[in-house]
């Protein structure tokens, strides 16, 4: 058996790996399946505006993360920044919120992957496929950082190419270059305002903001990977700029095409709006092609998710707030104990989705939906306080390798945009449950930190 030791992470990720890791975490079922729901709720114009606001919010947050992660390239980055500049209890809470987000996602992704396989293998149990995919994802993460990064690169590439092809075909259909079934003339932009500019009111944009922000979640994986990238001062800024540009083009381009080609009332009830569009354009085997792509998207998100959750556990353990055995890194640069515990957490989330879908699982999903926005808020506030402390210590802003522009406007604006989406869910009965479960969980994390800190102090341990 391989001897484990207190080791260190290996800097093996190149720019293309970090970019695809981030895209892999972001482009998933939120875009391929849930985008139709956003169009139905906010209307075509409202959905486009909602995704634009979401893109601006994530761009501002990533500008904040860029300065922090280049200056302090750590694995599990933003948990460390929150602990240092906001407070250790906040860092602890942010880490558990983020860990829970990806762990719950693992459970739902393995289930979804098994269900997708039913299309081709209806006689094989869903749970057999779920177990096989879980084993595959664990193997990819446990092998080596480079092997994980390469697998994620190719997983993500399938999604990226699919979206590019979809946008090109869709745009051609919008302007009549490619004919659509049942239409003699090009739809152009008639669907965008067919039911009015804001059929459900402008307030619907605010109500869909949490779902949109959740769709953009995963971009922050760039910060988590900072401790395992080659030359972070060059890699991280380049990855941030490249990722954000592609995300805006992919998300806004996709939503524009879907909104232009699908009537508003059809979009939300379809299994996948992508399948509907490709069917109407007459692409053969459209459903099978998209089934494969969505399967790839789910496995890619699970791959990124297990990576992110294991690094968060490692970061907590490295700071001594949870057992230090989870901070062990093996000879291949993998925190294997943290990886295994995260996989167990994903399995428990999967089981709760079967055994207690209306109680335990709905609570977990609600907390994880809110958690991403809370994490983004912590990144913005950490950068605001870091810059203030950096200048107070006598340093010059010009010495920073990557500077968040327009300080302090960017961190304040990004914080307020995220806060706005949290306020919005209080007015939506279907999303309000996130506050009912999320706020008590956050308070529980703070209480747990102070209780364990007191116990450590009582036991004579030194606190970092």
For tokens 């390469």, the residue is 150
CA angle (421 as vertex; 416, 423 as ends), nearest 5: 90
pLDDT at 34: 67
The residue ranking higher by pLDDT, 125 or 390, is 390
Residue 451 Cα distances to 80, 90, 94, 456, angstroms:
20, 14, 17, 9
pLDDT-derived band at 195, boundaries 50, 70, 90: low
Q: What is the mean pLDDT of residues 222-234?
A: 70
| 92 pLDDT above the threshold of 90 | yes
- Write out the H or E segment, with its range, that includes residue 197: none
- pTM of the shown model: 0.83
Q: Is the pLDDT of residue 26 over 80?
A: no
Beta bridge partners of 309: none
CA angle 11–237–166, rounded 5-degree value: 100
User: According to the model, what pLDDT value does residue 385 have?
Assistant: 96
Residue 30: predicted pLDDT: 66
pLDDT bin (cut points 50, 70, 90) of residue 113 is: confident
For residue 61, give the nearest of 444, 399, 383, 425 by alpha carbon: 383
Give the pLDDT confidence score for residue 283 in this predicted structure. 80
List pLDDT tens digits, range 277-292: 787 788 888 778 888 8
Read off the pLDDT of residues 235-257 as tens digits, 9 standing for 90 and up. Answer: 777 777 777 777 778 888 888 88
Which of 41-45, 155-159, 182-186, 350-354 has the weakest average pLDDT? 182-186
User: Does residue 196 surpass a pLDDT of 70?
Assistant: no
Per-residue pLDDT, 443: 94
pLDDT for 227 beyond 80: no
Report how far residue 101's alpha carbon sits from residue 89's, in angstroms, rounded to the nearest whole number.
18
What pLDDT, on the 0 to 100 scale, is given for residue 434? 81
The pLDDT assigned to 413 comes to 95
Residue 376: per-residue pLDDT: 92
Mean of all residue pLDDT scores within the chain: 80
Residue 462 pLDDT > 50, yes or no? Answer: no
pLDDT (tens digit per residue) in 340-391: 999 998 888 878 877 776 677 677 777 777 888 899 999 999 999 999 999 9
Q: Which residues contact 422 (CB under 8 A, 6 or more apart)?
A: 210, 370, 373, 374, 435
Averaging pLDDT over each range in 208-212, 303-307, 431-435, 440-444, which range is the top one?
A: 440-444
- Whether the predicted pLDDT of 442 surpasses 90: yes
| pLDDT exceeds cutoff 90 at 411 | yes
Q: What is the mean pLDDT of residues 31-43?
A: 73
pLDDT tens-digit map of 293-338: 888 888 888 888 898 888 888 888 888 888 888 888 888 778 889 9
Residue 269 has pLDDT above 70, yes or no: no
What is the dihedral sign for C-alpha 397, 403, 409, 411?
A: negative
Res 164 pLDDT > 80: yes
Both tokens of 401, joined, read: 């390798």
pLDDT the model gives residue 459: 61
When pLDDT is averaged across residues 118-138 and rounded to a whole number, the result is: 88
State yes or no: pLDDT of 85 exceeds 90: yes
Of 364, 369, 359, whose CA–CA distance to 422 is shortest?
369
- Asked if pLDDT for residue 9 goes beyond 60, the answer is no
At 229, give phi and psi (nearest 5°): -105, 150
Question: Residue 125: in which H helix or E strand, if any?
Answer: none
Categorize the per-residue pLDDT at 4 as very low, low, confident or very high, splitting at 50, 70 and 90: very low
């Amino acid at each position: 058996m391989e001897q484990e030791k207190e080791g260190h992470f290996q800097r093996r990720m190149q720019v293309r790996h970090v970019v695809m890791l981030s895209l892999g975490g972001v482009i998933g079922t939120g875009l391929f399946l849930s985008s139709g729901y956003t169009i139905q709720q906010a209307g075509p114009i409202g959905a486009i505006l909602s995704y634009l606001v979401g893109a601006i919010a994530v761009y501002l947050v990533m500008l904040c993360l860029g300065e922090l992660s280049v200056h302090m390239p750590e694995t599990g980055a933003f948990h460390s920044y929150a602990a240092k500049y906001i407070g250790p209890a906040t860092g602890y809470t942010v880490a558990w919120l983020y860990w829970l987000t990806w762990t719950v996602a693992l459970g739902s992704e393995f289930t979804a992957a098994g269900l997708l396989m039913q299309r081709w293998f209806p006689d094989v149990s869903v749970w057999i496929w779920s177990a096989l995919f879980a084993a595959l994802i664990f193997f990819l993460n446990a092998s080596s950082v480079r092997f994980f990064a390469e697998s994620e690169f190719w997983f993500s590439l399938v999604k990226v190419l699919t979206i590019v092809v979809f946008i090109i075909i869709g745009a051609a259909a919008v302007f009549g270059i490619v004919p659509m079934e049942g239409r003699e003339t090009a739809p152009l932009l008639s669907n965008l305002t067919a039911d009015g500019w804001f059929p459900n009111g402008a307030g619907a944009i605010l109500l869909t903001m949490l779902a949109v922000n959740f769709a953009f979640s995963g971009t922050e994986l760039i910060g988590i990977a900072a401790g395992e990238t080659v030359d972070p001062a060059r890699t991280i800024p380049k990855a941030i700029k490249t990722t954000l540009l592609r995300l805006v083009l992919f998300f806004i381009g996709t939503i524009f095409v879907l909104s232009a080609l699908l009537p508003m009332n059809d979009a939300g009830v379809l299994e996948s709006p992508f399948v509907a569009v490709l069917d109407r354009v007459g692409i053969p085997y459209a459903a099978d092609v998209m089934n494969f792509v969505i399967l790839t998207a789910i496995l890619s998100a699970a791959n990124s998710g297990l990576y992110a959750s294991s690094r968060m556990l490692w970061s907590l353990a490295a700071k001594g707030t949870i057992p230090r055995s989870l901070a062990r890194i093996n000879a291949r640069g993998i925190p294997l104990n943290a990886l295994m515990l995260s996989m167990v957490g994903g399995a428990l989330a999967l089981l709760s989705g079967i055994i207690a879908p209306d109680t335990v699982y709905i609570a977990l999903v609600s907390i994880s939906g809110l958690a991403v926005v809370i994490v983004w808020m912590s990144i913005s506030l950490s950068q605001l306080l870091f810059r203030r402390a950096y200048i107070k210590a006598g340093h010059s802003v010009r010495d920073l390798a990557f500077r968040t522009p327009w300080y302090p406007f960017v961190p304040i604006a990004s914080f307020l945009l995220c806060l706005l989406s949290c306020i919005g869910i209080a007015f939506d009965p279907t999303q309000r449950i996130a506050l009912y479960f999320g706020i008590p969980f956050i308070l529980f994390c703070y209480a747990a930190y102070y209780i364990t800190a007191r116990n450590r102090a009582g036991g004579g341990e030194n606190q970092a």
